[in-house]
C-alpha cells in the first residue's frame, strides 16, 4: 500500500492532520516503495516542537532535509498559515517541481507559486492574487522578500521557510531586518530554517542563527563576542595616509585568535535545532586528498619574483592594508592557473595535473555509463580557460553569467558526450542529482570558506550516491594555494568543534591529534 502524507505526520506526532493528507502519495525518483527515514520524521516533528514556533535543521548536505521542509510548508498552507519560502534563485523551480512531484496530488488541494521576475510581472501576479486569492505556498528569493515583505504581511502569510541559513549570519542586514519585521513577536508565526552547516565561514556566523531561533540568549553581538571569541591585536600599515612621523601610518586592528566556551555555544545553538550527519545514512566512503606538486621552474621563479617585488617596500614586517593585500592575493591566485599574467609563455602544470587526475578517474570511458567529473573553480577567467582546455569532454558550464543553469546540469546528467561539469562555488547550492552520474570532484582553485567547500563536496557525497566518492585538492608548493587549503582546514576545525556531534570516547582517550587538521 503506498505511503501517504497522513502517516508521515502521524509518525511525526503532529496533532492536527487534515483528512485529505491520506490522499497524497509520497514518491521518490529512484525508490519504488518510498517511506521517509527516521531523521526525516524527526525533522518534521521539530517544526512543531518548540513554544516559540521556530526551529532549524542544520543537517549535513545530502541527508534529505527537503522532504520534511516541504511537508512543513504543506501543513502551513493546509491549516491557513500561508507560507513564504525563501531560497536562492537557482532553487525556485527545483523546489516547486519537487513539491508537486514528491507529494502526488497536492495540486488538487494547495497552490504553490514562484514570485519572481520583472517588477511588472510581479505586479500582474499581485493583481491576480487580489482578485482570486494568494497562493498557499509562495516561493521567492531573499532579495525580493527584502523589498516586498510588507506585501506578504498584507496577504496574511503566517509562516516562513528559509533555505540557506547564511542569510541570517548578519543580524544587521536588510534581509534580517525584513525577516524580523515579518515574523513579529516571538511565538506568533512558524519558521523553519535549513542549512548544511550553520556556520559558512567562521563561528561568528552562528550569532545570527541563535538570535533568530532563541532571541533572548545573548543581549547583543558584543555579549556573544565576549562569551566566545578571543582576539589579538596586529599592526597594519595603511598606505596613503599621512602621519606627522612618517609617510605611512600604522593602525591596530583585532583579529580572531581562537574561540572559547564552545560547549555553551553548542548548547545554545542546538536548543531549537538539530544536526544529522551523513555517517548515519551508510553512504559510500568519501576520500579527500591534497595532491602536492611543483610548478615549472620558470613559472615558480616568475611567481616568486612577482610576490617579492610587490612586498619589497614592506620589508619591515608590517602587514599590507586590506585593499592592497586583496588585490595582490587575487593576482597571485590567478597567476597559478594562468602563467601568462607573469609573462611566462607556457601552460601551467596545474592544468596538466587536473587532466591527469581526470584521465585516472576514467573520463575517457565511453558507452552508456561514461565517467563524469565535477570540476570546481572561483574565477570567470579560470572557468573559461578550463572550458577551452578541456573542450574535448564537451563540458557543461555553470557560473554567474550562465543563462540556464538547469539546462547545463541536465546536459551533464543525461548527455553521454558531456563528461565534465565546470562550476564556480557560488553556483553550487541546491544542485541536486549530480550524485547520480558522478563521483569524482577536483578543486581547480581552492576556497578558504568551509561552507562553500562543503556545498561543493556534498553535491557528490549525498543520499543516492552508490559509488565511493573521491575529491582532489591540487596543492602547488610555494604558492598561495597552500595557505588557502590550510585556512580551509583550520576553519573547518573550528566549525566542526561546534556543529558536529563529537565522539566523546575519542576525546576522553586523547585520540585527537591536535597538530594535524583533517578535512574529513
Query: What is the per-residue DSSP string for 308-324?
Result: HHHHGGGTTSPBPPHHH
Instruction: Measure the CA–CA gap between 134 and 154, rounded to whole angstroms.
Output: 10
pLDDT at 430: 62
SS3 138: strand
pLDDT tens, 16-71?
A: 899 999 999 999 877 888 899 889 999 999 999 999 999 999 988 778 899 999 99
Question: What's the distance, CA 375 to chain centroid?
Answer: 17
pLDDT at 493: 63
The x, y and z cell numbers of residue 499, run together, are 556543529
Instruction: Measure the CA–CA gap between 180 and 164, rounded to whole angstroms.
Output: 16
pLDDT at 364: 85
The x, y and z cell numbers of residue 359, run together, are 584521465
Greatest mean pLDDT among 35-39, 237-241, 399-403, 452-456: 35-39
Mean pLDDT of 463-482: 88
pLDDT tens, 234-251?
A: 776 665 545 455 445 667
Instruction: Say which DSSP state 509 is in.
Output: T
Mean pLDDT of 465-485: 88
Q: How many CB atoms lie within 10 A of CB 414?
A: 11
Amino acid at each position: 500500500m503506498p505511503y501517504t502524507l497522513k502517516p508521515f505526520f502521524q509518525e511525526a506526532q503532529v496533532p492536527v492532520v487534515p483528512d485529505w493528507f491520506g490522499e497524497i502519495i509520497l514518491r521518490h525518483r529512484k525508490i519504488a516503495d518510498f517511506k521517509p527515514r527516521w531523521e526525516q520524521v524527526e525533522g518534521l516533528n521539530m517544526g512543531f516542537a518548540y513554544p516559540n514556533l521556530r526551529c532549524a535543521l542544520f543537517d549535513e548536505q545530502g541527508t534529505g532535509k527537503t522532504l520534511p521542509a516541504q511537508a512543513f510548508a504543506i501543513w502551513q498552507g493546509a491549516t491557513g498559515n500561508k507560507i513564504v519560502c525563501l531560497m536562492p534563485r537557482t532553487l525556485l523551480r527545483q523546489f516547486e517541481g519537487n513539491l508537486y512531484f514528491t507529494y502526488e496530488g497536492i495540486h488538487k488541494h494547495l497552490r504553490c507559486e514562484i514570485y519572481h521576475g520583472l517588477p511588472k510581472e510581479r505586479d500582474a501576479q499581485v493583481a491576480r492574487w487580489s482578485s482570486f486569492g494568494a497562493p498557499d505556498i509562495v516561493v521567492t528569493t531573499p532579495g525580493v522578500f527584502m523589498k516586498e515583505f510588507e506585501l506578504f504581511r498584507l496577504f496574511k502569510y503566517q509562516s516562513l521557510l528559509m533555505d540557506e541559513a547564511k542569510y541570517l549570519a548578519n543580524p544587521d542586514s536588510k534581509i534580517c531586518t525584513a525577516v524580523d519585521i515579518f515574523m513579529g513577536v516571538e511565538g506568533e508565526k512558524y519558521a523553519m530554517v535549513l542549512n548544511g552547516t550553520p556556520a559558512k565561514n567562521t563561528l561568528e556566523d552562528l550569532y545570527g542563527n541563535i538570535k533568530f531561533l532563541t532571541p533572548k540568549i545573548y543581549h547583543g553581538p558584543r555579549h556573544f563576542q565576549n562569551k566566545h571569541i578571543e582576539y589579538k591585536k596586529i599592526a597594519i600599515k595603511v598606505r596613503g595616509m599621512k602621519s606627522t612621523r612618517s609617510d605611512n601610518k600604522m593602525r591596530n586592528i583585532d583579529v580572531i585568535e581562537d574561540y572559547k566556551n564552545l560547549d555553551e555555544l553548542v548548547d545554545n545553538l542546538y536548543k531549537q535545532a538539530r544536526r544529522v550527519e551523513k555517517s548515519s545514512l551508510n553512504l559510500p566512503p568519501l576520500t579527500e586528498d591534497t595532491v602536492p606538486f611543483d610548478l615549472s621552474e620558470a613559472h615558480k621563479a616568475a611567481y616568486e619574483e612577482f610576490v617579492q617585488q610587490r612586498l619589497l617596500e614592506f620589508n619591515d614586517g608590517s602587514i599590507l592594508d586590506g585593499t592592497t593585500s586583496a588585490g595582490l592575493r587575487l593576482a597571485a591566485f590567478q597567476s597559478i592557473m594562468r602563467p601568462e599574467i607573469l609573462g611566462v609563455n607556457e601552460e601551467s602544470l596545474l592544468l596538466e595535473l587536473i587532466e591527469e587526475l581526470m584521465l585516472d578517474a576514467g573520463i575517457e570511458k565511453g558507452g552508456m555509463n561514461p565517467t563524469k567529473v565535477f570540476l570546481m573553480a572561483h574565477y570567470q577567467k579560470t572557468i573559461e580557460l578550463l572550458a577551452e582546455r578541456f573542450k574535448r569532454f564537451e563540458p557543461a558550464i555553470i557560473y554567474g553569467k550562465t543563462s540556464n543553469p538547469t539546462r547545463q546540469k541536465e546536459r551533464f546528467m543525461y548527455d553521454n558526450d558531456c563528461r565534465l561539469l565546470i562550476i564556480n562555488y557560488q553556483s553550487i547550492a541546491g544542485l541536486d542529482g549530480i550524485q547520480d552520474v558522478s563521483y569524482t570532484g577536483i578543486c581547480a582553485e581552492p576556497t578558504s570558506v568551509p561552507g562553500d567547500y562543503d556545498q561543493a563536496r556534498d553535491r557528490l557525497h549525498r543520499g543516492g550516491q552508490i559509488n565511493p566518492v573521491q575529491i582532489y585538492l591540487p596543492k602547488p608548493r610555494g604558492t598561495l594555494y597552500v595557505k588557502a587549503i590550510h585556512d580551509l582546514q583550520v576553519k573547518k576545525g573550528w566549525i566542526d568543534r561546534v556543529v558536529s556531534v563529537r565522539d566523546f570516547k575519542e576525546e576522553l582517550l586523547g585520540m585527537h591529534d591536535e597538530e594535524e587538521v583533517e578535512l574529513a
